[in-house]
Structure 1
Amino acid sequence: MTNIYKTILVPLDPALESTWRSALPAAIDLASHHQATLCLMTVVPEAEIPAIAVHLPDGLDEKLRDKGLDALETLRAKEVPESIHSRSLVGQGRIDKQILRMAVKINADLIVMASHRPKASDYLISAIAAYVTRHAQSSVMVVREGNEDR
């Protein structure tokens, strides 16, 4: 059998379990089955916006990226089996655009991400999944959260 997927991108927020609770196990299963590289990704805010940059400490963007990478590495060590080839990636800026940029950069064959049954707090995540699904060059699997939230 040919391995369809070689690189699987999983965008998530390590601090927000709903962004990975269902999607990450699905991606791990696919990575294992296809012997693919699993790339966990988080996106941190961009602080050095010209209008406000003069009011912020120097190097804040780098500190945000480092903090995001540390949180992602902790999650990866806890949740991803050592038998899966994996890595951590950090984007910075607008979440949907960064996911698409990273997918192209790493030549992802598949993006696996979470979506939820809409509640007021979930519209942002749902909008991001919809945007990525419409604009990605690769296949996108949107994993709907289970019934545990009901």
Structure 2
Amino acid sequence: MFKSILVAIDLNDPMSWEQGLPQAAELAKASGGALHLMTVVPDMGMPLVEEFFPAHYEEQALTAAKERLDQLARDSLPADTPHTQHVALGQITQRIVETAEQTGADLIVMASHDPDLAQNFLIGGHAGKVVRRSPVSVLVVRA
């Protein structure tokens, strides 16, 4: 069924791993597949904004995200679950789709909040953007 499953995790939102990670682990176990856990540290977007952050902020943020993802994997996955961790910097949707392509994922799993019509109209949700841009199937888990 699914041999390589990418699980997109927002480290600031426990729902993203409390809901999505158990389902992804169950799918991987049932199909003999492996998990790729990933999180994205958003970049500043504009050089002007970077001036307001301390030097080496992005490197420190990436290191902290990797440590948190490592701890999450230890706490949330059975010890025998094959997995790899990925931490990326940049635009969230773009990095998720790129990582899916780089890892050969055949499924992306991510959690999503109940839709807020005003927010989705103005900026759109990450899950919706990934669904529209992904070259593979996407399982969106609602909380």
Q: Could you say which TM-score interval applies, normalised by the shorter chain?
A: 0.7 to 0.9
Selected match of 1:16 from 13, 25, 28: 13
Report how many residues are paired. Answer: 142
Query: Which residue of 2 is the match for residue 81 of structure 1?
Result: 78
CA contact (8 A) 1:37 1:85 kept: yes
Query: Which residue of 1 is the match for residue 127 of structure 2?
Result: 129
CA contact (8 A) 1:111 1:140 kept: yes
CA contact (8 A) 1:65 1:92 kept: yes
Question: Partners of 2:56 and 2:113 in 1: how far apart?
Answer: 35
Selected match of 2:88 from 85, 88, 91: 91
* 2:131 maps to amino acid: T
Question: Partners of 2:63 and 2:22 in 1: how far apart?
Answer: 25
Q: Which runs of 5+ in 2 are unaligned?
A: none
CA-based RMSD of the aligned residues comes to 2.4
Dislocated runs of 4+, deviation >4 Å: none
Give 1:54 deviation, angstroms. 4.5
Selected match of 1:42 from 35, 39, 43: 39
Question: In terms of mean alpha carbon deviation, does 40-49 or 101-110 score higher?
Answer: 40-49
Question: In terms of mean alpha carbon deviation, does 10-19 or 41-50 score higher?
Answer: 41-50
CA contact (8 A) 1:48 1:60 kept: no
* 2:35 maps to amino acid: L
* 1:44 maps to amino acid: V
Identity of aligned residues (%): 34
Question: Partners of 2:75 and 2:39 in 1: how far apart?
Answer: 16
Q: 1:22/1:62 Cα in 2 relative to 1: closer, same or farther (>3 Å)?
A: same
